[in-house]
Amino acid sequence: MNQIRQPFPHGTSVEPQRPDHYDERNRAAIRVRRASRHARIALVGSIALSGTAAQAQSVQDLQRQIDELKATIAELKAAQNGPIAQAAPVPTPVTAPIAVAAMPAPAPKPAPAAAPLTQLAAATPKPKRAWYDRIAIRGYTQMRFNEIVSGDRTAPDGQSRLRSVHDGSIGDNTGFSLRRVRLVLQGDLTDRVSFYLQPDFAVNVSNQSGGERREGFAQLRDAYVDTFLDADRRFRLRFGQSKVPFGWENMQSSSNRITIDRSDGINSAVPGERDLGIVAYYTPTGVQRIWDRLEEDGQKLFGNYGAFALGVYNGQGISRAETNDGMMTVAMATWPFALDGLGGAFSGQVLEVGAAAIRNRVQPELRSGGVSDTSFADERFGVHAILYPQPFGFQAEWNWGRGPEYDDVSQSITTKRLNGGYVQAMARVRSSPLGPFMPYARRQYYRGGWKALPNAPRLETDEFELGIEFQPTPPIELTIAYARMTRREADERREGRAEGDLIRTQLQFNY
Q: Is the pLDDT of residue 282 over 90?
A: yes
CB atoms within 10 A of CB 467: 21
Asked if residue 389 has a cis previous peptide bond (ω within 30° of 0), the answer is: no
Radius of gyration of the chain (CA): 39
448 forms beta bridges with 459
Q: Is the pLDDT of residue 491 over 70?
A: yes
Alpha-carbon distances of 117 from 5, 27, 114, rounded to whole Å: 44, 17, 9
3-state per-residue secondary structure call for 139-175: EEEEEEEEEEEEECCCCCCCECCCCCCCCCCCCCCCC
Maximum average pLDDT range among 69-73, 93-97, 260-264: 260-264
Q: What is the pLDDT of residue 115?
A: 46
Compute the average pLDDT of residues 166-178. Answer: 93
CB atoms within 10 A of CB 33: 14
Q: What is the pLDDT of residue 30?
A: 56
Q: With beta carbons less than 8 A apart as the criterion, state whether 84 and 114 touch.
A: yes
Residues in the chain: 511
Element (H, E) at 208: none
Q: Is the pLDDT of residue 75 over 90?
A: no
Whole-angstrom Cα distance, residue 11 to residue 7?
12
Q: What is the pLDDT of residue 83?
A: 46
pLDDT grade for 153, boundaries at 50, 70 and 90? very high
Q: What is the pLDDT of residue 357?
A: 98
Q: With beta carbons less than 8 A apart as the criterion, state whether 129 and 161 touch.
A: no
Side chain identity, residue 157: D
Q: Is the pLDDT of residue 186 over 90?
A: yes
3-state per-residue secondary structure call for 458-508: EEEEEEEEEEEEEEEECCEEEEEEEEEEEECCCCCCCECCEEEEEEEEEEE
pLDDT grade for 361, boundaries at 50, 70 and 90? very high
Query: β-strand 235-243 against 135-151: which pairing, if any?
Result: unpaired
The residues near 221 (Cβ < 8 Å, ≥ 6 apart) are 182, 198, 199, 200, 241, 274, 318
Q: Is the pLDDT of residue 360 over 50?
A: yes
The residues near 293 (Cβ < 8 Å, ≥ 6 apart) are none
Compute the C-alpha angle 97/102/103, nearest 5°.
95
> What tens digit of pLDDT does each residue of 397-425 get?
999 999 999 999 999 999 999 999 999 99
| b/e burial code for range 191-200 (CB count within 10 A of at least 16 → b) | eeebbbbbbb
C-alpha dihedral (60, 63, 67, 73), degrees to nearest 10: 150
Whole-angstrom Cα distance, residue 354 to residue 331?
11
Whether the predicted model's global pTM rises above the 0.95 cut:
no
Q: Is the pLDDT of residue 428 over 50?
A: yes
| b/e burial code for range 314-344 (CB count within 10 A of at least 16 → b) | bbbbbebebbeeebbebbbbbebebbeeeee
Whole-angstrom Cα distance, residue 317 to residue 274?
7
Whole-angstrom Cα distance, residue 317 to residue 273?
8
Q: For residue 448, give the nearest of 463, 439, 461 by alpha carbon.
A: 461
> What tens digit of pLDDT does each residue of 45-56 get?
554 444 444 444
Q: What is the pLDDT of residue 63?
A: 77
Whole-angstrom Cα distance, residue 451 to residue 378?
9
pLDDT grade for 165, boundaries at 50, 70 and 90? very high
Q: What is the pLDDT of residue 72?
A: 75
Q: What is the pLDDT of residue 213?
A: 75
Compute the average pLDDT of residues 142-153. Answer: 96
Whole-angstrom Cα distance, residue 330 to residue 313?
8
Helix 24-48 to helix 59-81 angle (10° resolution) is 170
Q: What is the pLDDT of residue 34?
A: 63
Maximum average pLDDT range among 58-67, 427-436, 484-493: 484-493
pLDDT grade for 119, boundaries at 50, 70 and 90? very low
Q: Is the pLDDT of residue 319 over 50?
A: yes
